[in-house]
Amino acid sequence: MTMDLINKTEKNKGGQPLPPIDTIMLFAAGLGSRMRHLTENSPKSLIPVLGKPILHHALDLCKTYPFKKIVINTHYLRKQVESSLKEYMVNNPNFSDVTTIYEEELLETGGAIKNAKEILGDKPIFTLNTDTILRANYNIFKDMIKEWNPEKMDFLLLLQPYDRAVGYTGRHGDFEMDRYGRLSRPDIEGNYSFMYTGLSILKPATIAKNPLKIFSLKEYYLNSQKIFGIKAKDARWYHASRPEDLVEIEIDMLAYGNI
């Protein structure tokens, strides 16, 4: 199915044609310091899960949607990332165009988008963390686009209920979500109800206005009044924070098959 066909035949909840979001940026520049010995000689995004680098799992997810452009930032051991991408492209000859951007210094997620602004353009894009694995029995990208409303949203994050996260080691979760999908972090005791899965829609033009060179998207997630969420449906979300998480993730992935 082509992007043009999708836009002509499907509409969002407001009855408007789905916006042509055809670009995604994957974050693969991190050091992966919490993975200790596993990242001494390998980028975190290339740690194997069920015999496949985490980055390749992310690219497999991207294959489920007709992206025209995939942008990946690199820093730590970038040559290994580039070599792994070449291998993936050889095995997937009809895959979308992939552009890598080398960061001489870590710019964090917000700085990475600002640094790639000329390639990403001004239109909304998807972003995806490459330390997570998403498996679903539906098209996550199309589902998010249906929910996306650029007039009221600067960010739309895919969320997973806190108690369904596999490999997550945080104590409090990330967000609460009201019935309209608006996200917040109220001052409460205990855990927040939802986890951020690492997949989002955002506006690069908004991020590019930040005067800083190095900054995280978390600054916007915690302070923006135009941040919304959408709950993952029939999906499994895996987050590899520590070496011991990998065993739990692989056991769960084998148990749930394609989900």
pLDDT at 10: 59
pLDDT at 187: 78
Is 1 domain-assigned? no
Tell me, yes or no, whether 2 lies in a domain.
no
Q: Is residue 10 part of a domain?
A: no
**Residue range of the domain that includes 69:** 20-256
**Looking at this protein, which amino acid is placed at residue 127?**
T
Instruction: Please report the beta strands in the chain, taking only residues with DSSP state E, as ranges in sequence order.
Output: 23-27, 48-49, 52-53, 69-74, 97-102, 125-129, 132-136, 155-161, 176-177, 183-184, 194-202, 227-231, 235-239
Q: Is residue 15 part of a domain?
A: no
Query: 200: closest CA among 105, 132, 249?
Result: 132
At 43 the pLDDT is 87
Which domain CATH number covers 187? 3.90.550.10
Residue 89 lies in a domain: yes
Give the total number of structural domains in the chain.
1
Counting runs of H as helices and runs of E as strands, what totals does the chain give? 9, 13
> Is residue 94 included in any domain, yes or no?
yes
Q: Are 241 and 34 in contact (CB under 8 A)?
A: yes
What pLDDT was estimated at residue 15? 61
Given this model, what pLDDT does residue 104 score?
Answer: 95
pLDDT tens digits for the chain (259 residues)? 334 334 444 565 556 666 679 999 999 998 776 666 777 788 889 989 999 999 999 999 999 999 999 999 999 999 999 999 999 999 999 888 899 999 999 999 999 999 999 999 999 999 999 988 998 999 999 999 999 999 999 999 999 987 777 776 656 788 999 999 999 988 777 788 899 999 999 999 999 999 999 999 999 998 889 999 999 998 888 887 777 788 888 888 888 876 6
For residue 239, the cross-strand partners are: 132
For residue 57, is it within any domain? yes
Does some domain include residue 43? Answer: yes
